[in-house]
A and B are shown apart, each in its own frame.
Chain A
């Protein structure tokens, strides 16, 4: 059975991977931009963050389902939904990271003549990078989970195997879908950890 379904499984794994990578990328970029904006308007942030948090409690199923009704059965539906969900973990961490940069460092930067843009690029973002990557890590792991739901609107991915397995009571299918999904989440998390260690300036590494 494994041999017969191997190509389809491979396809599902790649589709799943594609959804995750694209959505997390879009979500992260948007999140960092938003975080930078919010860090300049801290008062707005106090209201916006809880609202976004509430947004996150809407299960992925719902968002995908609603979009599906309006946009139809296309890959874009999944990507849009997943990207939106990928934003929040990164946004929270990026915002916290930027806002908690040591004020002394910012003053030092201003002291040597940095304008706000350079300050951002050379001081705040590098210091916040650690938090941002942690956020991306969380986002990626959640997105692997949510992408499973993509199969619900027929867009493929590992959810396909899990759903078919559950609905037709074929245990092998469930396993064939679950294990790659689990491995993908663990694998991506591990990779991001490695990247994080590499990107942290040697002086800040705590290990």
Chain B
């Protein structure tokens, strides 16, 4: 009974992560390329993260029904901000000298973006993805209320029936997932930094 919940949970988180990364990058790049829309883009995604998860999920459920898809959409929206913001800031913080050098070499804007700016901004983007992913693991718990299953179900059952074992199992699994994901991603994040910037 328990393994299926873990896999469900992982499925929800992974699917949400996929969309978060794709859309996060897209919007981050758009925000970077078009300074005029920056404020609005950040404002919108900040809004999604401010609205309580359960409220967002509830409203989505009213509109689209209760299903794993609803949960994935909700999770994605909620966790887009870190990726969008870090992508934008990461791109912005690439040394102007390097950007000028690329332009000076005659690179068209898109080439410059993909071959120079994105690779240099990647550590920060990766950090944003890490925050997003770890947060989704926790937020996905609420998913079960909206028909998504996952570890939220185990926890909720545990609390309702005062079954401490359930609660403990669910919690430890969640914590383990979060710690592992965070540790693995931190390790790679550190490797991405140039040798003189490596820290923890």
Q: How large is the interface on B (under 10, 10 to 19, 20 to 34, 35 or more residues)?
A: 20 to 34
Contact A162 B54 (CB under 8 A): yes
Contact B58 A165 (CB under 8 A): yes
The stretch that binds B, out of A30-38, A91-99, A122-130, A175-183, is A175-183
Contact B162 A189 (CB under 8 A): no
Measured CB to CB, the nearest residue on chain B to A181 is: B55
- List 19 interface pairs A-B (beta carbons < 8 Å), by A numbering: A57-B134, A57-B175, A58-B171, A59-B174, A62-B170, A65-B167, A66-B167, A69-B164, A141-B50, A166-B58, A175-B62, A177-B58, A178-B54, A178-B55, A181-B54, A182-B59, A185-B50, A185-B51, A189-B50
Chain B window 49-93, contacts with chain A (Cβ cutoff 8 Å), 1 for yes, 0 for no: 111111110110110001000000000000000000000000000
Q: With A and B bound together, what is the CA distance between A196 and B170 in angstroms?
A: 39
Q: With A and B bound together, what is the CA distance between A69 and B164 in angstroms?
A: 9
Is B146 part of the contact surface with A, judged by Cβ < 8 Å? yes
CB distance from B197 to the nearest CB of A (A): 17
**With A162-B58, A166-B61, A182-B51: A69-B162 Cβ-Cβ less than 8 Å:** yes
Selected contact of B138 from candidates A59, A158, A163, CB within 8 Å: A59
Contact A166 B167 (CB under 8 A): no
Is B98 part of the contact surface with A, judged by Cβ < 8 Å? no
- Residue of B56, B61, B66, B146 ringed by the most chain A CB atoms within 10 A: B61
* Cβ < 8 Å to A, chain B residues 103-145: 134, 137-138, 141, 145
Contact A61 B55 (CB under 8 A): no
Could you say which residues of chain A place their CB within 8 Å of the CB of B51? 178, 181-182, 185-186
**With A59-B174, A175-B59, A178-B59: A65-B52 Cβ-Cβ less than 8 Å:** no
CB distance from A181 to the nearest CB of B (A): 4
CB distance from A196 to the nearest CB of B (A): 15
Contact B52 A144 (CB under 8 A): yes
Contact B164 A174 (CB under 8 A): no
* Cβ < 8 Å to A, chain B residues 1-60: 47, 49-56, 58-59
Contact B141 A61 (CB under 8 A): yes
Is A148 part of the contact surface with B, judged by Cβ < 8 Å? yes
Could you say which residues of chain A place their CB within 8 Å of the CB of B158? 65
Measured CB to CB, the nearest residue on chain B to A171 is: B62
Could you say which residues of chain A place their CB within 8 Å of the CB of B101? none
Q: With A and B bound together, what is the CA distance between A182 and B57 in angstroms?
A: 11
Could you say which residues of chain B place their CB within 8 Å of the CB of A69? 159, 162, 164
Is B179 part of the contact surface with A, judged by Cβ < 8 Å? yes
**With A59-B155, A189-B50: A54-B175 Cβ-Cβ less than 8 Å:** yes
Is B149 part of the contact surface with A, judged by Cβ < 8 Å? no
Contact A57 B146 (CB under 8 A): no
Could you say which residues of chain B place their CB within 8 Å of the CB of A163? 145
